[in-house]
Homo-oligomer: A and B are copies of this chain.
Amino acid sequence: MSLLVVGSIALDSIFTPFGETADALGGSAVYFSVAGSLLHPVQVVGVVGNDYPVAELDRLAVRGIDWSGVERADGESFRWKGKYSYDLQSRETLETRLGVFAHFQPKIPPSFRSAKFVFLGNIDPELQHGVLEQVTEPSLVVCDTMNYWIQSKKAALMALLGRVDVLMVNDTEARELSGDWNIHRAGRWILQHGPSRVVIKQGEHGALLIERTRTFYVPAFPLENVFDPTGAGDAFAGGFMAYLARKGSVSDDDLRRAMVVGATMGSYAVEQFGIRGFDEVTLRDVNHRIHAFEDLTHVSLAEALT
A interface residues with partner B (beta carbon < 8 Å): 39, 86-89, 181-185, 188, 202, 204-206, 208, 214-219, 222-226, 243, 253, 256-257, 259-261, 283, 286-287, 290-291, 293-301, 304-305
Counted per complex, copies of this chain come to 2
* Chain B residues whose C-beta falls within 8 Å of the C-beta of A183 in the assembled complex: 204
CB <8 Å contact, B222 and A300: no
On whether the beta carbons of A260 and B301 are closer than 8 Å, the reply is yes
Q: What 8 A-B pairs have minimum CB-CB distances, sorted nearest first? A: A87-B181, A217-B219, A205-B205, A256-B299, A287-B305, A184-B224, A297-B297, A184-B222
Name the one of B208, B226, B301 contacting A294, with C-beta atoms under 8 angstroms.
Answer: B301
- Determine whether the beta carbon of A217 is less than 8 Å from that of B260: no
Which residues of chain B are within 8 angstroms of A39 by Cβ–Cβ distance? 305
> Which of B217, B224, B286 is within 8 Å of A182, CB to CB?
B224
Q: How far is the CA of A305 from the CA of B265 in the complex (A)?
A: 14
**Partner among B204, B290, B295, B305 whose Cβ is within 8 Å of the Cβ of A305:** B290
Q: Is the CB of B300 within 8 A of A226?
A: no
Q: A224-B188, A260-B301 are in contact. Are A216 and B253 (CB under 8 A)?
A: no
Query: Known interface pairs A260-B299, A300-B253, A301-B294. Does A184 touch B283 (Cβ–Cβ under 8 Å)?
Result: no
Complex: chain B residue closest to A294, CB-CB: B301
Q: Could you say which residues of chain B place their CB within 8 Å of the CB of A208?
A: 222
By a CB distance below 8 angstroms, the chain B residues around A305 are 39, 261, 283, 286-287, 290
B residues less than 8 Å from A296 (CB atoms): 215-217
Q: A202-B205, A304-B257, A304-B260 are in contact. Are A185 and B290 (CB under 8 A)?
A: no
- In whole Å, how far is A234's beta carbon from the nearest beta carbon of chain B? 21
Quick one: given A205-B205, A297-B217, are A182 and B290 in contact (CB under 8 Å)? no
Chain B residues, Cβ within 8 Å of A205? 202, 205-206
Complex: A19 Cα to B219 Cα, angstroms: 33
Q: A87-B181, A287-B305, A305-B286 are in contact. Are A216 and B260 (CB under 8 A)?
A: no
Find out whether the CB atom of A184 lies under 8 angstroms from the CB atom of B299.
no
> Is the CB–CB distance between B257 and A299 below 8 Å?
yes
In the assembly, what is the distance between CA of A295 and CA of B216, in Å?
A: 7
Are A301 and B185 in contact, with the CB atoms below 8 A?
A: no
Are B224 and A185 in contact, CB atoms less than 8 angstroms apart? yes
If the complex has contacts A217-B219, A224-B188, are A301 and B290 also in contact, measured as CB distance less than 8 A? yes
A231 to chain B, nearest CB (A): 19
**How distant is A193 from chain B, measured CB to nearest CB, in Å?**
17
